[in-house]
Structure 1
Amino acid sequence: MLGYNRNMLAGLVASIGLLPLQVAAQAVDSNQDNSAAEKVLVSTETTEPKEDQDNVEHIEVIGRYIGIEAPEAFGRFMLSKDFIRNAPKTTGDINDLIALLPGVQLSEDALAVSQAGEIRAKQISISGAQPWQTGFFINGMNFNSRLDPGAYNRSEGAVNDVQGGPQNFNVNSQIVDSIDVYDSNIPVEFGGFSGGVVDVQTASAVQSDKARVSLGYRGSNSDWNQYHIINGDIDDDGDAFSTDLLTPEFEQQSVNFLASTPLSENQGLLVSVNYLTAKKSKVSFREIVNTERQNINLLVKYSLRNAFFDNLDWSVLYAPYENRNLQENVLNSELVISGGGYGTTLNAEKAFSSGEWISEFSFNTSENSREAPPHFYLWLQANGKAWGRDTAVDDDLDDTQQPVSREGGFGDLDKTQTTATWRNQFQFNDWQWGRAEHRLKVGFSAQYQALGRKRNADSYYYNSAVQYSASAGNNALNCSGYTLDCVELSLAKSIETLEAELGEPLDFSNPEHILLYSDNVLVSPQFFNFRIVYPSENIRVNVNQVGIYLNDQIHWDRLTLNAGLRYEYDDFFKNHTLAPRFSGSWDWFDDNSTLLVFGASRYYDAGLATYKLKQESKPYYTEFRPILNGSLQAWVPSSLDADLRYRYEGLDSPYNDEVVLALKQSLGAFGFVSLRGIHRWQRDQLARASESELGADGYRYAYQDNSGFGTSSRISLAWSASWRAHSFWANTDFSRTKSNGDSYNEAVDDVSLDELVWYIGNGVGSLTTQSAVATLNTNFSRPLRVNFGWHADWTEAFSTTLNGAFTDAYHTAVATGQYISSGNIAWLCKDCDVDSISVPIYRKVEFARRWQVNLATRYTLSLQEWGNLTLSVDITNLFNTRTYMVTPGNDGVETGRTLWAGARWDW
């Protein structure tokens, strides 16, 4: 292990003390990277052979418990199979486990009631970075999504994009053997990130000389869960009841299967599958409707040992995701979101006389696509288009807000990503130079990535309905054959019949006549005089990247240094970048009990293919239509007929600089503790230039520059210990994140129409943009957090695991689900007879401090020759505390105690 004293032996211990401390008296080569289990340092003492001992050499092994951190310079946390298996969990998403570590945070919506019944991987942030700035790897294969990784929180019916996320695949812990998480001093072999790294390993197919079969089932449903129904008029602990609020109804089921068998003495085959489904209710038009989701993780792995290659693993991962959903309170809005895909990796290792060669080839393809109705309509609430009155959203509108009836969707949109990567590393044998010992490794990587975006037909967004009146001598509305976006007057009885029944002509100054006429109207006339057109498109872009790195680990006396340098080049930005990675440790007492760790590193961001796809995407354009003597005319492109196009030219590559100072201390029988301080500077971040430019082709071009910057500071303290059949861990971190994008006063006359929103902060509202509001969200900047855990093996058959978390209060901006008239938008379409459009409303809120405790119980029954049966119960929010996702003054529902029950048979 890097940074270990050469005179020590390394051994393995069960995960975080999940079993009593046991140390194997087996020497582990210091070249190996034993990330699959926690580490224990051991010292040895060899006695002289004696005749009565039959010349058997005796080795005394003394163990020192370390936990999920190793005494090394890298900022690495290691979660083993036992830790993963025993930790309380819900759907099994690995990000829930990673969020237990210091410096790792889940998105604020992870606890929202809207997540009940969801099965997507939750967003995480490492060291204050955005979720898409984390590098995700499984068996060496990168599974970051570059299609638009910031689209996680977008609506299922997003206007010109598809709800997505930072990861290609939703990885379930069932197929995982171990997870390494790096938050600082990250090794030089990792690239394409500026936050942290999550390195996932699946189990080897060569584990024993016997076949193994495992079958499991876990499930949860809303009847087993509890909720807090909050009445916003009463500021209490959530016991107030509001009959207008409904708790979600859902059912989740997870089926697991694993089979592995040796094929010969040195080869084996493993098959592992997890099938996760969810049925979830929504309230739409005050009625309960059902939606469905499913996620599959199928892993097939072949392992070969001690042949031409010392180690050879070939794995195939099939991981599709599907979400059958609809937009709430939107008529005819059923849609299907498809994600995930498949990937394959080939990992080979071979030792030579001069060192060891490691080669990894991976290929994966994924999608982030949508099937939906082709057009979207924001009708005014009126006779014939009055279904918006049956929604909870529009109940409490004030005079400035606009009652609408929504219909349709934004069309089919297919987005695909294909990535092929080849990585090679050669680690030379240790060599001596003077008093220093060196360990040199060099590596090379090449990546091809292609992204596609396809819309087969134009999609129209109608958001400027006009109520037509035939009074004052106007002719009746004639839709001129436009039946989709215009409705003419429809009466139950003709005017002549109505007047005949009255016995007199209609008098619109008479209130009784007005009421009678209103009751006779089946459909009030209205039409759209403005629309946004999203044109059909078929775009494919690709980016090639290469990377070269070297690292020299220098061990001299008590000092260990890692001096690394990584070079990268891509054919989009066309920048040659050099990222130094320098870290080290000082062994204070020369026994690995006290390490002073330090480091200074640079990490360059990825996402290049995302930028290129955005640059090549077709912009929308706007159309309007005049009306003449009551007859609608043809649609006409406006003089400002194009949305922005984006340009990334002459830019530097964004990067983060990091400095680290840490202390790692063994406490003997009291475990292991680490204290670290991390500061990062975000430099050359991409930001919109101050003004767009009108090109000769009539398009407006928004150029990006490198004016973005920010800082992130964190202090964290972590501790773990093991005592007999009990193990404990705890960590806390205090962080501060700042950015130059902390204002929402962007120029709204330089953005896309679908980016406009109304933001209300401190009681004052103004027109701004989606991206500007996003900068206000302290989504991953909680000032103070505390996590803790306790595992106990009470008997050989029964065990429990308890963990908990505390989060301090913070502010953010949330969507209200309401709309408001934008006011004058003549600057968007000077030739259009359009006064305003409808835009969504966002509001600044404060989330109160919260705490939550989770519990997992396991009981194993021996079935003798038929194996073992393990029964499990996982309880989230054991004490049924509030999440405070419903802010003061608002009505809403919060999740309380949730329960999962399961059984697993192992043979």
Structure 2
Amino acid sequence: MFRHHLPLPSLLCASLLLAVVPAVQAEEPGRSAEQSAEKRYFSLPAAPLGLSLARFAEHAGIRLAFDARLVDKLQAQPLEGNFSPMSGLQLLLAGTGLTYEAVDGGYLIKAQKGLSQDSVRLPSTAVTGPQMAEENRFAHPFRLTSEQIEHRPQANSNLTDLLRSHPVVQFSNSSQNGLSQGEIKPDSISIHGSRPYQGLFSLDGMRMNNDLDPVDAGNGVTMASGTSSEQGFYLDSRLIDSLEVHDSNISARYSGFTGGVVEATSRSWRGGQAGQLYYRHTDADWNKTFTDDSLDFDSSNNSMSHPSRFQPSYQKSDYGFWGETQLAENLGVVVSASRRDSKIPMRDLGGPGFDIDGDTLVGFNHPASNRLQRRQSDNLSSKFSWYATPETTVHWTVLYSGYEEQMFQNTVANSGYQNSHDGLASILKLEHMTSLGQMELNASYRHLTDIRDSDTDYRVSLIDSSDWRNPVTYNYGGPGSLNSYQDTVELSGQFAFDRIFAAGLGHRFTLGAGVNQVDAEFEREETYYAANFDAYGEYINLRQIDAFFAGSASTRYTSYHLFAEDEMDWGRLTVRPGLRMDRDDFIGSNNLAPRLSVSLDAFGNGATVLKAGANRYYGSSMLTYALYGAQNGGLKHCYFDCFPLIDNGDGTWDATPDYEGLDNLKTPYSDELMLGLDQRWGNSLWAVQYVNRKHRDEVRSRPKYPDSRASNERSVKEFVNDSKTDSDNVYLSVSMLEPWRALHAEHRFSAALAWQRTRSDTALELGYSDIDMTMKLDPSQVWYEGKVINAKDLPASDFNAPWKLNVDWQADWQAYGITLFNRVTWESSRDQVYKHDTGVDGYYPLPDSDLRVRKYSSARIGSLWRWDTNVQWKPAFAHGLGFNAQVNNVLNNKNQSDTMSWNGGTYKIYQPGRQVWLGMTYDF
């Protein structure tokens, strides 16, 4: 065995001698070549290539020799699945410039013919790339390495930007809004018809979702609640090592989602010293914007509730670095930092305003001016990797993600405020290989905050009705300050046993368990007052005072999980049954999720593999279910004998409750049926897959007393599990197994054609916040295109492109240091469902009933296609300096993405036109 006290360099040099490689003792005397070539299950984490080769040899029971200088600074990707020694070595060495040669009693690692040691480079494709390799029998996952990420065109360097080529990932219609190109927040996505906040985002095994209040209800800026999004950490995609998406036949190791899993891995020390500096920039003057011909696209038209809807001017920059170095024997660190910055000039029209001095209303003039809104997203991280022994690795990641947006409300004096969305995390992971299998232990802590910091803690509003036909409203002050916090501690572990034989079957058991504790709090530090005045000529009357009184509310819950699965193989058939139990004491339920995946290697050669599955996935509970009552819980009104901005006088404050807690809430779940086929054909891999999802017990809001006319009951709502969504998805994809070499370049092609249909009785983008307080409303039915239908059959109003085609082509001219990536996207035309305004025309009375239903119609949105490209040039003579140019929508196509209602009209929204990013990199 390896001597654990040997330093890593000595260990790798010693492996030149076949006799000291651990596999010598592992191999039994007289073992035949046929026996040594049998497949075994491997689960190797990402690590320096030399260490991965040593681990592979030990577990495979083979002799392996290599020169440590050949593998220095090279990194091996994770390797998981059933492999023969040769197939495993091929994947570990893919793209490194190294090969192997069979020698007496083992294998020798050497440089490929014609390649010197200096020409060896990091792999350009993942070891577990989109190939039908043995390591993934049950699904067709989407994987990207750091080098692939660097080559792809990205809008704002967010994780979701990398998923544009995924066939089943649907983006919100608002995700590419040409009217607001200055924004840098991650786009919302839906997988198989799920709510966007019911997808699981993870980093190094830690869940990084934001469960505080991730839904934007579409109401704009309100005094009751702030803004947020689904992801708790806005990761810079250039600083991660790999990204993987699981969308079907998902292992029992994962839970807390009804859509899919987006799993990121941070960079680990590669066994040497290296790094990169980068900078890129874009400007509105370089780019094109399409608008509706009848729309006045000017920032002066931004409103109080939507203060950044129109952004004709912006400047965006993206810069940062990552670096790795050795700290001690077998110990290294990767540090990284980045900033994404956007400056958005705006016009504030100013105008008359009113403030309060004591109890006196004072008028003044708020001058017009040019002002700047700003968005800023920062990432800071460090990851320590300690390869303690060939069997034991420890990773410790510390991460900070901070996002800020500086805002103001047009025409409103002293209305400035700042939204911040910050995350701090610590992740500790231990991986240990034993004689029985591989153990993994994880411990993590994360602290998430959503804070709105307002310049003022009050608002003054005056409605001047001197001209009663055209009343004018004047406002002063900001929306008020709010704080939300989420603290999570998580401990988990799993053990993957080595493959054993029993009852004529091969078995590989995996067991796991974990505990998770969450503390959350909503806080309003200072009472917020809103004084409302009416003016009629010289007469001014204080109509009412609204106040959100200072206070806080908190909640704590603990969840537990256990899971077990057994990958059983019998000849060409592999079956993986699994069962996961999650205990959620937040709503007091035990959720049992059975999983079953089946794979059949039709001819025993891996060329044709049939796949099927039936699975249940339980989602997560939103903390807002418990904290919502606090948002409006402090809201009170004073109508008579009140002082404007203080809580005294003879007036009476009337409470306005709108929520009465949790009643028998359940955890949403999704039932999945999946069929698939993978087919190798020459140098290509074809995959076809069908997935049916039934999302049930989805949470939405409804009036608790729908027919009550009592003022203390009329506005009360509750959360209920009476929403459902059905989704069908089919896709066909093709990818190359090995690059095609032509014109002095390596070419890689992939394409995917997908069809989907999603029907839901609740707007996916609104989820639990979707509510209609109208009396005598039947929510189980709707009026759509002239007839009454079941609400569950209503087509989705977002995340709803029926047909989608993606074609990716990457070309590498290594001799010249040039890489070119092209992506062509096409989406079919669609009927965009929209809800009628809530006036007289917004409802349809049901015949022979006193009930009515909501009215919906659809507008036709034409098909769209776009070509995005990214070219990088890293010439050898520049000694690490590189240049890149990214052009999105190269041909400047006018693609409609959505519609918008504004100022009594309906307008078309288009995707951005041609958008250019220019940048530089320096590798060291």
> Does structure 1 residue 904 correspond to structure 2 residue 916?
no
User: What's the CA shift for 1:377?
Assistant: 4.7
Query: Which of 357, 360, 380 pairs up with 2:463?
Result: 380
> Does structure 1 residue 225 correspond to structure 2 residue 287?
yes
Quick check: 259-268 or 60-69, which moved more? 60-69
For residues 630-669 of structure 1, the aligned pairs below 5 Å read 636-637=651-652, 641-669=655-683
> Does structure 1 residue 800 correspond to structure 2 residue 882?
no
Q: Secondary structure in 2 aligned to 1:181?
A: strand
For residues 440-519 of structure 1, the aligned pairs below 5 Å read 440-461=509-530, 466-468=534-536, 489=538
User: What's the CA shift for 1:215?
Assistant: 1.4
Q: Distance in 1 between matches of 2:76 and 2:504?
A: 27
Matching residue of 1:597: 611
Q: Distance in 2 between matches of 1:892 and 1:359?
A: 48
1:639-681 CA-to-partner distances (Å, cap 9, x unmatched) read 7x32211422223322111111111111222x11111111111
Judged with a 3 Å threshold, the aligned counterparts in structure 2 of structure 1 residues 819 and 715 are, in CA distance, closer, same or farther, namely closer
For residues 678-717 of structure 1, the aligned pairs below 5 Å read 678-688=691-701, 691-692=704-705, 702-717=717-732
* Larger RCO (CA within 8 A; separation ≥ 6): 1
1:819-857 CA-to-partner distances (Å, cap 9, x unmatched) read 99999xxxxxxxxxxxxxxxxxx9976543221111000
Judged with a 3 Å threshold, the aligned counterparts in structure 2 of structure 1 residues 29 and 115 are, in CA distance, closer, same or farther, namely farther
User: What's the CA shift for 1:333?
Assistant: 1.6
Judged with a 3 Å threshold, the aligned counterparts in structure 2 of structure 1 residues 92 and 241 are, in CA distance, closer, same or farther, namely closer
For the 8 Å contact 1:565–1:580, the answer to whether it is kept is yes
Q: Distance in 2 between matches of 1:741 and 1:661?
A: 28
For the 8 Å contact 1:342–1:366, the answer to whether it is kept is yes
For the 8 Å contact 1:873–1:901, the answer to whether it is kept is yes
User: What's the CA shift for 1:145?
Assistant: 0.4
Matching residue of 2:98: none
Matching residue of 1:766: none
1:92-138 CA-to-partner distances (Å, cap 9, x unmatched) read 11211123201112221121124312221121111111111011100
Q: Secondary structure in 2 aligned to 1:102?
A: coil
For the 8 Å contact 1:36–1:81, the answer to whether it is kept is no
Structure 2 counterpart of 1:779, one-letter code: D
Q: Secondary structure in 2 aligned to 1:424?
A: strand
Structure 2 counterpart of 1:597, one-letter code: K
Q: Distance in 2 between matches of 1:401 and 1:440?
A: 74
Q: Distance in 2 between matches of 1:243 and 1:537?
A: 36
User: What's the CA shift for 1:905?
Assistant: 0.9
For the 8 Å contact 2:77–2:126, the answer to whether it is kept is no
Matching residue of 1:408: 477
Gaps of 5+ in 2: 1-35, 47-52, 62-74, 89-100, 113-124, 302-309, 350-367, 643-647, 765-769, 843-855, 901-905
Query: Which of 750, 764, 781 pairs up with 2:800?
Result: 781
Q: Secondary structure in 2 aligned to 1:449?
A: strand
Structure 2 counterpart of 1:172, one-letter code: D
> Does structure 1 residue 556 correspond to structure 2 residue 570?
yes
Q: Secondary structure in 2 aligned to 1:319?
A: strand
1:317-350 CA-to-partner distances (Å, cap 9, x unmatched) read 0111111111344443211011122101000011
For residues 282-301 of structure 1, the aligned pairs below 5 Å read 282-285=346-349, 288-301=370-383
Q: Secondary structure in 1 aligned to 2:623?
A: helix
For the 8 Å contact 1:96–1:122, the answer to whether it is kept is yes
For the 8 Å contact 1:730–1:789, the answer to whether it is kept is yes
Q: Distance in 1 between matches of 2:486 and 2:385?
A: 28
> Does structure 1 residue 436 correspond to structure 2 residue 505?
yes
For these two proteins, the number of residue pairs brought into alignment is: 769
For the 8 Å contact 1:139–1:200, the answer to whether it is kept is yes
> Does structure 1 residue 855 correspond to structure 2 residue 869?
yes
Judged with a 3 Å threshold, the aligned counterparts in structure 2 of structure 1 residues 611 and 241 are, in CA distance, closer, same or farther, namely closer
Structure 1 counterpart of 2:884, one-letter code: S
For the 8 Å contact 1:44–1:59, the answer to whether it is kept is no
> Does structure 1 residue 249 correspond to structure 2 residue 316?
no
Q: Distance in 2 between matches of 1:425 and 1:11?
A: 15
For the 8 Å contact 1:11–1:42, the answer to whether it is kept is no
User: What's the CA shift for 1:620?
Assistant: 4.9
> Does structure 1 residue 741 correspond to structure 2 residue 767?
no
TM-score by length of 1: 0.76
For the 8 Å contact 1:69–1:77, the answer to whether it is kept is no
Q: Secondary structure in 1 aligned to 2:174?
A: helix
For the 8 Å contact 2:691–2:730, the answer to whether it is kept is yes
For residues 201-350 of structure 1, the aligned pairs below 5 Å read 201-205=265-269, 207-208=270-271, 210-232=272-294, 248-285=312-349, 288-307=370-389, 310-350=392-432
Over alpha carbons, which structure has the higher Rg? 1
User: What's the CA shift for 1:170?
Assistant: 0.5
For residues 851-890 of structure 1, the aligned pairs below 5 Å read 851-863=865-877, 867-885=879-897, 887=899, 890=907
Q: What's the % identity of the aligned pairs? A: 23
Q: Distance in 1 between matches of 2:681 and 2:637?
A: 71
User: What's the CA shift for 1:745?
Assistant: 9.1
1:571-598 CA-to-partner distances (Å, cap 9, x unmatched) read 2211111000111111111111111111
Q: Distance in 2 between matches of 1:244 and 1:333?
A: 15
For the 8 Å contact 2:641–2:651, the answer to whether it is kept is no
For the 8 Å contact 1:716–1:733, the answer to whether it is kept is yes
Q: Distance in 2 between matches of 1:176 and 1:152?
A: 31
For the 8 Å contact 1:410–1:461, the answer to whether it is kept is no
> Does structure 1 residue 142 correspond to structure 2 residue 224?
no
User: What's the CA shift for 1:192?
Assistant: 1.1
Judged with a 3 Å threshold, the aligned counterparts in structure 2 of structure 1 residues 792 and 305 are, in CA distance, closer, same or farther, namely same
Q: Distance in 2 between matches of 1:536 and 1:882?
A: 49
For the 8 Å contact 2:485–2:520, the answer to whether it is kept is yes
Q: Distance in 2 between matches of 1:809 and 1:648?
A: 41
Judged with a 3 Å threshold, the aligned counterparts in structure 2 of structure 1 residues 179 and 266 are, in CA distance, closer, same or farther, namely same
Quick check: 648-657 or 164-173, which moved more? 648-657
Structure 2 counterpart of 1:466, one-letter code: D
Q: Distance in 2 between matches of 1:762 and 1:374?
A: 46
Quick check: 404-413 or 423-432, which moved more? 404-413
Matching residue of 1:838: none
Structure 1 counterpart of 2:570, one-letter code: W
Matching residue of 1:486: none
Q: Distance in 1 between matches of 2:400 and 2:670?
A: 34
For the 8 Å contact 2:129–2:144, the answer to whether it is kept is no
Q: Distance in 1 between matches of 2:462 and 2:143?
A: 54
> Does structure 1 residue 185 correspond to structure 2 residue 249?
yes
Q: Distance in 2 between matches of 1:709 and 1:130?
A: 11
Q: Distance in 1 between matches of 2:638 and 2:315?
A: 47
For the 8 Å contact 1:453–1:538, the answer to whether it is kept is yes
Q: Distance in 2 between matches of 1:145 and 1:282?
A: 30
Q: Distance in 2 between matches of 1:691 and 1:714?
A: 36
For the 8 Å contact 2:462–2:475, the answer to whether it is kept is yes
1:837-878 CA-to-partner distances (Å, cap 9, x unmatched) read xxxxx99765432211110001012247xx411110011111
Q: Distance in 2 between matches of 1:54 and 1:449?
A: 56
Structure 2 counterpart of 1:683, one-letter code: R
TM-score by length of 2: 0.74
Judged with a 3 Å threshold, the aligned counterparts in structure 2 of structure 1 residues 424 and 152 are, in CA distance, closer, same or farther, namely farther
User: What's the CA shift for 1:403?
Assistant: 5.2
For the 8 Å contact 2:692–2:728, the answer to whether it is kept is yes
Query: Which of 353, 361, 374 pairs up with 2:435?
Result: 353
Q: Distance in 1 between matches of 2:127 and 2:481?
A: 55
User: What's the CA shift for 1:300?
Assistant: 0.6
> Does structure 1 residue 672 correspond to structure 2 residue 685?
yes
Q: Distance in 1 between matches of 2:104 and 2:433?
A: 33
Q: Secondary structure in 2 aligned to 1:801?
A: strand
Matching residue of 1:830: none
Judged with a 3 Å threshold, the aligned counterparts in structure 2 of structure 1 residues 565 and 432 are, in CA distance, closer, same or farther, namely same
Q: Distance in 1 between matches of 2:592 and 2:693?
A: 17
Gaps of 5+ in 1: 16-22, 47-51, 234-239, 387-398, 470-488, 490-524, 752-758, 764-771, 824-841
Quick check: 401-410 or 314-323, which moved more? 401-410
